[in-house]
Structure 1
Amino acid sequence: MDTLSTAIGYVNGLVWGWPMLVLILGTGAYLMLGLRLMPLRHIPAAFVLLLSRSSAERGKGEISAFQALMTSLSATIGTGNIAGVATAIALGGPGALFWMWCTALVGMATKYAEAVCAVEFRERDSEGNFSGGPMYYIRNGLGPRWRWLAGAFAFFGIFAGFGIGNTVQANSVADALQSTFSVPMWLTGAALAVCVALVVLGGVKRIASVAGVLVPFMAISYMVLGLIILGMHLDRIPEMLMLVLDSAFGGAAAVGGFAGAGVAAAIRYGVARGVFSNEAGLGSAPIAHAAAHTDSPVRQGLIAMLGTFIDTLLVCSVTGFVILLSGLWQTGESGAALSAAAFDHLLSGGHYVVSLGLVIFAFTTILGWAYYGERCVVYFFGTKAVLVFRLAWVAAIPMGAMAQLNFIWLLADTLNAMMALPNLIALILLSPLVFKLTQTRLASALGKAESAGS
């Protein structure tokens, strides 16, 4: 295991080096500028579209636009918001939170472009269900000579799913329940596998239905608890904000058990954990948005970009500020244990809510990623392989629950980068089409949002 960890650590250092960080932030910034800051300017209109009746059933698809967003959020709001933020701050200092914000801001443009391309180039499988995502907009949008790139994404998507969307989630849940309620890790793995099987075997419609209920409920509950804590320490928020900004550009000095982190570490862990959390650029979310009832790629893109806004700029920020307010980030603790301790330190019993939130978030993440992995399998083998994949997906959960956490996180980080590369290349090459579709169809989409909100 040590040899394998060392090898993956070496690969991780290569794929998450400065070229990857520049590619992720650069692609998002390029798309944001090409869209003339449209994603930032139209956040209110996107929320109107999300909640409007016109986006619920119009156009071809299997699930509503709201369910598509909830399915994508089910895969993004998970351990990245609780354990990932804590890990970023523990390893990169408070400044990592700033770089998570930067990743999210430009990531809104990336997520918008992903969804636009996914809906524009989606196709039906042999059972009549929609399949979409990077493998399809690479193949159908860029032509036959780029088919290898589509295959690379689908290949990495399958294995990345078993890392980021399955074993990491199961491991984090088992760790949280063991430390908080003394539940044996094997029991958590077994119970989680049964619950996931009951939903996943029902396909995307059942996944979307469950996500449409659990994700809003738990996200709002978690946010309310965090905002209560922040409200109790409102006078210290400016101080924490200055700490984040100072650390982002000057590094964090060594304090207490904290070893200190430079600017490079803040950027590296901030961007990596930001992508892990909101998945902008990873290419996963457009797989869900391709299944939405819609007749407009632009309208679905506007709704899709809200995933990044909600995930990182809202949920992750609450987690980050609570951790900083507690001061426990200096103790050497990390992961979900740090987040739970921070909440409990500031509000008695807070760690119980964090543990429960982690369980539900991770559960829905496993559901969302099951659909992503399934669509990647369908790309290679067709619908005949779906049942085999679903059974393998469920079987991996108990193994992930009892695996070594550090190794799982390292593997997930590495697979994230390998999955993102084909997608980011495709978005750059397809960007002229995204700009053109936005220019010609944005007014129509916004007109429907305005009429729905009036």
Structure 2
Amino acid sequence: MLLALERQVTALAEWVWDLPLLLLLTGGGLYFLLVSRLLPFRHVGQSLRVLSGRYDRADDPGQINHYHALSITLAATIGMGSVSGVAVAIAMGGPGTIFWMWVSAIVGMATNYFTCTLAVMYRGRDSLGELQGGPMYVITEGLGRRWWPLAALFCVTGMFGCLPIFNANQLTQAIQVLGLEPAGLAMGAGGDLVIGLVLAAMAAAVIFGGLSRISQVAAALVPAMVGVYFLAVLGILIAHADVVPHYLSLIVTDAFRADYYEGEAMFGGALGGLIVLGARRASFSNEAGIGTAALAYGAAKTSEPVHEGLVAMLSPVVDTLVVCTLTGLAILVTDAWKVEGLNGVLMTARAFSDTYPAFGGALLLICILAFGLATLFSYSYFGMKCFSFLFGARVKGAYNGFYIASIAVGAASTTALIIGFIDIMFALMAVPTMVSGLLLSRRVMAETRAYFARAHAGSEQGAAQ
């Protein structure tokens, strides 16, 4: 029965990620990139200046600063999708998948700029009168109340799409393989559930502290976890420096040949399937166009919407172009991707253990725990905002109980079933986010032109001087 359900969910995920959604996400992102005249690439310096706090003012509306907003977003995206999700993509599509993930990330920079600028332009008040931002408020405040069903669609799918089931599942596998087996311990059939309950307790300690505690923990974890992971993978690449150029070349050439693609053909062939796979895995990892980033940046303390759009552009760079690329190269240069029977976090584990036989497993486990727990903390905030929009801010705490319980469920479920379910939810979340972004894109450009006109004139209102 479980196998039949797994096949049905996987088939539905393939169906929703067909041509229309790909055009909406990738085509919409290309439109943002072109209509902005490559703005993400021309103003990265300004993004860093905003992130540094140079333009912060104590009386700005919002709840958290730019750095904390970026940290929450990265804590959510640089999770198991960046460690095991890349391995899943390579197992299904081969090296060329990474190239299409790069393309999606570059497009995603522009998508994040537009959707996150809108998240501040059109903030609304929840039932307790507190200022909030996110795609649902962009829709109701920017497009009007008659578009409420589209906002409701985002919130319903967001409540389920932001459940931590994939991270709990992959964390459980990692702990069992990297943590328990080397120690000679066995937990039996109930081991998954035991680990899930421990993870749930750890997550609860942070989640019930609210946005302030989540942002503080994320701000502390993100730089440390990215730094350690970067150095660990750099060591792998140095140890296999002789084959790094070969695999960099293979990533590009295989992107147009699809020699290793093993999934369903799309758009008439394997290449179409490979492109869709890359877009799906990139969306799963950096979430550009899905709407989660807008939920975080909509809470930032700023009166300049463009500031948040500029900072939001950095997320796909760090997540996909840096962390996912590091993971992919580690798997490729160690030939872990050629070992039959390996998938997900187990493939990444093989790359680490081959290079660092004495401590590779422990090192990856530390990185995975940091990545996975940071994601567990951050996703709860996204889902709770969606729940609060639909049912009221007074009862939003009820979602946290549901969220914590789902950790145990994810730990004991199959990876394929979970990936299919999350893919479906993310696809449905992308529709309201991208539709509202495209419909309101002219207003974003009007705001952008006004902002940079003030900047050029040397205005004190958050201008770059």
- TM (normalized to structure 2)? 0.91
Asked whether 1:336 is paired with 2:337, we answer no
Counterpart in the other structure of 1:246? 253
Q: Summarize the Cα distance change of 1:56–1:336 in structure 2 as closer, same or farther, 3 Å threshold.
A: farther
- Residue aligning to 1:172: 170
Are the aligned partners of 1:174 and 1:188 in contact in 2 as well (CA < 8 Å)?
A: yes
**Structure 2 gap segments, 5+ residues each:** 181-186
Which string of whole-angstrom CA distances, capped at 9 and with x for unpartnered residues, describes residues 206-252 of structure 1?
A: 10011010111111111121122223333432211110011100112
Aligned counterpart, 1:199: 206
1:396 corresponds to: 406
Partner of 1:363: 373
| 1: CA distance, partners of 2:63 / 2:15 | 39
2:149 maps to a residue whose letter is W
**1:69: which partner in 2?**
70
The answer to whether the Cα contact below 8 Å between 2:451 and 2:463 also exists between their aligned partners in 1 is no
> Cα 1:448–1:361, aligned 2, differ >3 Å: closer, same or farther?
farther
Counterpart CA distance in 1 for 2:106 and 2:396 is 35
- Whole-Å separation in 2 of the counterparts to 1:56 and 1:63: 12
Counterpart selection for 1:440 from 435, 445, 450: 450
Structure 1 alignment gaps of length 5 or more: none
Instruction: Give yes or no for contact 1:76–1:311 (8 Å, CA) kept in 2.
Output: yes
Contact 1:279 1:285 in 2 (8 A): yes
Alignment correspondent of 2:24:
23
The alpha-carbon deviation at position 176 of structure 1 amounts to: 0.4
Change (3 A) 1:6 1:259: closer
Indicate the residue corresponding to 2:183 in structure 1. none
When residues 128 and 223 of structure 1 are mapped into structure 2, their CA distance, relative to the original with a 3 A threshold, is: farther
2-side partners of 1:237 and 1:448: how far apart? Answer: 48
Deviation for aligned residue 1:383: 1.0
For the Cα contact (< 8 Å) 1:167–1:408, is it kept in 2? yes
Matches within 5 A, 1:283-322: 283-322=291-330
1:86 corresponds to: 87
Is 2:372 aligned against 1:353? no
Matches of 2:264 and 2:403, distance apart in 1: 39
Q: 1:452 to 1:387 in 2, by over 3 A?
A: same
Greater helix share, structure number: 1
Which range moved further: 302-311 or 338-347? 338-347
Aligned residue runs from structure 1 range 105-144, under 5 A = 105-144=106-145
Shift of 1:444: 4.3
- Residues 370-428 of structure 1, C-alpha deviations (whole Å, 9 max, x = no match): 01111101111111221211111112111211112221111111111111112111111
Mapped contact 2:116–2:308 kept (Cα < 8 A):
yes
Q: Greater CA deviation, 99-108 or 180-189?
A: 180-189
Q: 2:396 aligns to what SS in structure 1?
A: helix
Q: Which residue of 2 aligns with 1:46?
A: 47
1:199 & 1:193 partners in 2: Cα distance?
Answer: 10
How many residues align? The count is 448
Q: Residues of 1 paired with 2:272 and 2:192: CA distance? A: 36
2:16 & 2:263 partners in 1: Cα distance? 25
Is the contact between residue 118 and residue 286 of structure 1 (CA under 8 Å) also seen in structure 2?
yes
User: Residue 440 of structure 2: SS of its match in structure 1?
Assistant: helix
Moved more, 230-239 or 308-317: 230-239
Once the 2 structures are TM-superposed, how far is the Cα of residue 441 of structure 1 from its aligned partner? 0.7
1:52 and 1:453 in contact (8 A); partners too: no
Range that drifts further, 338-347 or 232-241: 232-241
Q: Which amino acid aligns with 1:62?
A: Q
- The answer for the alignment partner of 1:14 in structure 2 is 15
The 1:94–1:300 alpha-carbon spacing in structure 2 relative to 1, beyond 3 Å, is: same
2:235 pairs with 1:237: no
Conserved in 1, the CA contact under 8 Å of 2:264 and 2:273? no
Instruction: State the 1:124 CA deviation.
Output: 2.8
CA distance in 1, matches of 2:105, 2:452: 22
Instruction: Output the CA distance in 1 between the equivalents of 2:454 and 2:376.
Output: 36
- d(CA) in 1 for partners of 2:454, 2:241: 42
For 2:322 and 2:57, locate their aligned partners in 1 and report how far apart those are by CA, in whole Å: 24
- Cα distance change, pair 232–436 in 1 and its aligned pair in 2 (3 A): same
Which one-letter code corresponds to 2:281 in the other structure? R
Relative distance call for 1:116 and 1:263 in structure 2 (3 A) is same
- The residue that corresponds to 2:155 in the other structure is 154
Task: For 2:32 and 2:384, locate their aligned partners in 1 and report how far apart those are by CA, in whole Å.
Answer: 29
2:332 matched to 1:324?
yes
1:43-96: CA deviation from partner (whole Å, max 9, x where unpaired): 233122212343374611111110011011111110110011011111011000
Q: Report the residue type matching 2:170 in the other structure.
A: S
Name which of 381, 385, 390 aligns with 1:380: 390
Residue range with higher mean Cα deviation, 85-94 or 19-28? 19-28
C-alpha deviation, 1:194, in angstroms: 1.0
- Corresponding position of 2:232: 225
What is the CA distance between 1:128 and its match in structure 2? 4.5
Counterpart Cα distance in 2 of 1:445 and 1:354: 45
In 2, the alpha carbon distance for the partners of 1:365 and 1:407 equals: 20
Q: Give 1:3 deviation, angstroms.
A: 3.3
